[in-house]
Amino acid sequence: MESITKNRQTPATLRAMVERAYGAEQVPTGDPDTWLEELGHGWFNVAYRILLRDGRAVVVKIAPPRDVPVLTAERGAMRIELDSLALIAARTDVPVPQVDYADLSQELVDADYFFMPFVDADNFGIITKDLSTEQRDAYNEALGAANRELNSIRGDWFGPLAGPGDQSWRTAFTGIVEANLADGEARNVDIGRDYDDIRKIVALHADVLDDVTEPRFVEWDLWDSNVMVRDGRILTIIDHERALYGDPLMEAGFAAIDLPDFGDSTAFMRGYGYEELTPREQTRRRLYSLHLVVIMAIETVYRGHTTPTQYDWARGQIDRMMRMLTEP
């Protein structure tokens, strides 16, 4: 996926980054085609697979350039990911990448970056179309169980992992919504509705957010394309930069309840242990789905998308979610 947030680097700079992380003896030599490959399926950061001199394959993930505007929720995203990886490794058995080295100095490049081992596995989002229904459901059940374990991590506040947070989920979530709407207004993004219409519908239903009283670790970006699988098992879960303390019903695995273009949530919910949402839970999930599709419309401008596919789809889904939250 092409995006102006991808902070591509020259082979010379990548060699310098390898030297800092692994030492001069591991710096690859020869034609870059023999040791360097960009991993192209990400939407935000750039990532490269690099073959070290001793034969180990590693991945370096680089945050966007400092001078490229990003959404408010994406500021400091790589540091959120590093915090998330440490938290998950310490408090769950969910498989996530090991961080070999992280550099937050911004000396070699104008952004944070970190190295991790390359995991030789298939991307679930890429291979899902080639799987049988039984195989797909088995992976989604396993993903639901893993997501529930991630959500077992308790926080001390609602909102960003590093704080500052709030003791009220209503206050935290409506603040997140407002920040995203302000991002859209700042760039004059046409979302097909007046921005105040979104504010009004969120305010109308905001009382259901008060049902959430315990902050939980929420990945929020745990789509199938962030799951690496092999031989019926989840080998690792990647891309943790959007995590926060909030309501587990925000998780991507529940999105298809309202947005069927994302597939079928049945197997995920079975693995998670959720049979059916109550009416108030349904309303909360619809608020989260509305927020998601508004972001998906606005981010196309911030990412510099050159095709309208995602934007056009998101505009239609905004209308869908507004109807679902308006009609009795």
β pairing state of 227-230 and 233-237: antiparallel
Report the Cα–Cα distance between both ends of the chain, in Å, rounded: 39
| CATH architecture of the domain with residue range 122-326 | Alpha-Beta Complex (3.90)
Residues 6+ apart with CB under 8 A from 89: 96, 98
How many whole angstroms separate alpha carbon 6 and alpha carbon 63? 7
Contact predicate 296/285, CB 8 Å: no
How many whole angstroms separate alpha carbon 292 and alpha carbon 314? 9
pLDDT score, position 197: 97
CB neighbour class for 19 (10 Å; exposed up to 12, middle 13-18, buried from 19): middle
pTM given for the model: 0.94
User: Whose CA is closest to 88, among 269, 232, 222?
Assistant: 222
11-117 adopts what CATH topology?
Phosphorylase Kinase; domain 1 (3.30.200)
pLDDT (tens place) for every residue of the chain, 328 residues total: 567 788 889 999 999 999 999 999 999 999 999 999 999 776 688 999 999 999 999 999 999 998 888 999 888 999 999 999 999 999 999 999 999 999 999 999 999 999 999 999 999 999 999 999 999 999 999 999 999 999 999 999 999 998 889 999 999 999 999 999 999 999 999 999 999 999 999 999 999 999 999 999 999 999 999 999 999 999 999 999 999 999 999 999 999 999 999 999 999 999 999 989 999 999 999 999 999 999 999 999 998 888 899 999 999 999 999 999 998 6
User: Whose CA is closest to 192, among 324, 300, 317?
Assistant: 317
Cα angle 225, 7, 221; round to 5: 25
Give phi and psi for 41, each to the nearest 5.
-90, -5
- Domains of the chain: which residue ranges? 11-117, 122-326
Cα angle 198, 201, 206; round to 5: 120
pLDDT score, position 7: 83
